[in-house]
């Protein structure tokens, strides 16, 4: 088993289920100690137990990513408990949808504060620790931001938040690259509780996406997304930063 990330410490937000959980499992299998961050204690504890049963190291950290004080406390807890911060995976995102004309300020703020603003706050708080290593930041985007289906089916607040993640990632790459901190945007496609809910609401959209994906399927968060994300955190990817990595079975290639 590869242990390329032995001795490194990762934070994964929204790690109680779905993509966050799958990536956390992959990071732990590759040797990293992982802080499993989320709002629901039972879910993040379950993820920790899966990692520990496989021989990995993980701690649960309850954190509402829309609360700046909780973010600061989360980073402090991780560094105190695990010794450092090498990898930051900003995966958490509330995903409201609906037509823009009917979107309230509260809904738009929820999308932005849970996604790009939370990522910015984690990056800002984590910066002094990432600087010491130097570390890697991976922000989760969405392939839906690049295709018409996302816009047609009124995912406006969500898509706007994901576009902001792209700008945040690139700006950090420019500002922090000289200090050795590398940043990436990953646009994933995988079965998750959210994608299954979306499939139930708009089966024709998801079925068409799968049919037009060259690899012909949705991904698995742990086995399809996890390994390449782990690789981005290694020295082998040390000359890469600021770029968007599409882990979607070729979906965006077809659009």
**Residues catalogued as catalytic:** 158
Select from 86, 233, 240 the least CA-distant residue to 177: 240
Rounded to an integer, what distance in angstroms lies between the CA atom of residue 83 and that of residue 33?
Answer: 10
Instruction: Annotate the chain with three-state secondary structure.
Output: CCCCCCCCEEEEECCCCHHHHHHHHHHHHCCCEEEEEECCHHHHHHHHHHHHHCCCEEEEEECCCCCHHHHHHHHHHHHHHHCCCCEEEECCCCCCCCCHHHCCHHHHHHHHHHCHHHHHHHHHHHHHHHHHCCCEEEEECCHHHHCHHHHHCCCHHHHHHHHHHHHHHHHHHHHHHHHCCEEEEEEECECCHHHHHHHHHCHHHHHHHHHCCCCCCCECHHHHHHHHHHHHCCHHHCCCCCEEEEECCCCHHHC
Would you tell me how many other CB atoms lie within 10 Å of the CB of residue 45?
16
């Amino acid at each position: 088993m590869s242990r390329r990330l032995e001795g490194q410490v990762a934070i994964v937000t929204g790690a109680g289920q779905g993509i966050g959980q799958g990536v956390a499992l992959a990071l732990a299998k590759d040797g990293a100690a992982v802080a499993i961050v989320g709002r629901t204690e039972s879910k993040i504890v379950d993820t920790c137990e899966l990692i520990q049963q496989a021989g990995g190291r993980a701690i649960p950290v309850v954190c509402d990513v829309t609360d700046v004080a909780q973010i600061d406390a989360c980073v402090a807890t991780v560094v105190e408990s695990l010794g450092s911060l090498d990898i930051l995976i900003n995966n958490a995102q509330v995903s409201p949808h609906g037509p823009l004309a009917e979107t309230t300020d509260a809904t738009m703020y929820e999308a932005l504060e849970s996604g790009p603003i939370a990522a910015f706050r984690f990056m800002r708080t984590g910066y002094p620790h990432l600087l010491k290593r130097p570390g890697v930041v991976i922000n989760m985007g969405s392939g839906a931001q690049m295709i018409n289906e996302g816009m047609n089916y009124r995912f406006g607040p969500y898509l706007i938040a994901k576009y902001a993640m792209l700008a945040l990632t690139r700006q950090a790459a420019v500002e922090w690259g000289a200090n050795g901190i590398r940043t990436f945007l990953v646009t994933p496609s995988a079965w998750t509780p959210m994608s299954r809910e979306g499939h139930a609401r708009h089966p024709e959209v998801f079925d068409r996406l799968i049919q037009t994906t060259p690899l012909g399927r949705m991904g698995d968060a742990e086995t399809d997304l996890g390994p390449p994300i782990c690789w981005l955190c290694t020295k082998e990817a040390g000359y890469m930063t600021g770029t968007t990595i599409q882990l979607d079975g070729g979906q965006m290639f077809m659009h």
